[in-house]
Chains A and B, each alone.
Chain A
Amino acid sequence: MTFITRRRIARRTVLRGLGASLALPLLDGMVPALSAQRAPNRVQRLGVVYVPNGMAMHKWTPITSGAGPEHTAFEFSPTLKALEPFRDKLVVIGGLSVARNAGDTVHARASTRFLTGVPPRENLSDSSGNGIRADISMDQVAARAFAEHTQLASLELGLDANDFAGFCDGGYSCTYTSTISWRGPTTPLPMEYNPRVVFERLFGDGGTTDAAARRARLEKNRSILDSVNAGIARLVRDLGAADRSKLQEYFEAVRDVERRIQKAEEQGDLDLPTLEQPAGIPANYEDHAKLMFDLQVLAYQADLTRVITFMMARELSGRGYPQIGVSDAHHSISHHSNDPSKLEPYSKINAYHVSLFSYYVQKLQATPDGDGSLLDHMALLFGCGMSDGNGHTPRNLPIVLVGGAARGGRYVNHPGEPSLANLHLTLLDRLGTPIEKLGDSDGKLDLLSI
Chain B
Amino acid sequence: MGRSVAIQPSPDTHDVVVIGSGAGGGTVAHVLTGLGVRVTLLEAGPMLDPMRDFKEHQWPYDADHRGALEGGERYFSTVPRTHFSAWSGGWELEGEPFTVDRGSEFRWFRSRVVGGRTNHYGRMSFRFADYDFKPYDRDGLGENWPITYAEIAPYYEKAETLIGVTGSLEGIRSAPDGVFQTPPSPKAHELLIQAASERLDIPCIPNRRAVLTRPLNGRPACHYCGQCGRGCRGGSNYSSSQTQIFPALETGLLQIVDQAMAREIVTDGNGKATEVIYIDKRTGGERRIRCRVLVLAASACESARILLNSKNEEFPDGVANSSGVVGRNLMDTVGYGLSARVPALEGMPRYNSDGAGGAHLYMPWWGWEQQEALGFPRGYHIEMGGGYGMPGIGSFGRVARAAGYGAALKDQARKEYGTRISFEGRGEMIPNDDSYCEIDSDVVDRWDIPVLKFHFKWSDYERDQAKHMAETFNALIDTMGGVASAPRARDASGISVGGSIIHEVGTVRMGEDPETSALNSFCQTHDVENLFVCDGGSFVGNPDKNPTLTINALAWRASEYLAEELRRGNL
A and B co-occur in one complex: no
Which of B's residues lie within 8 Å of A, judged by CB? none
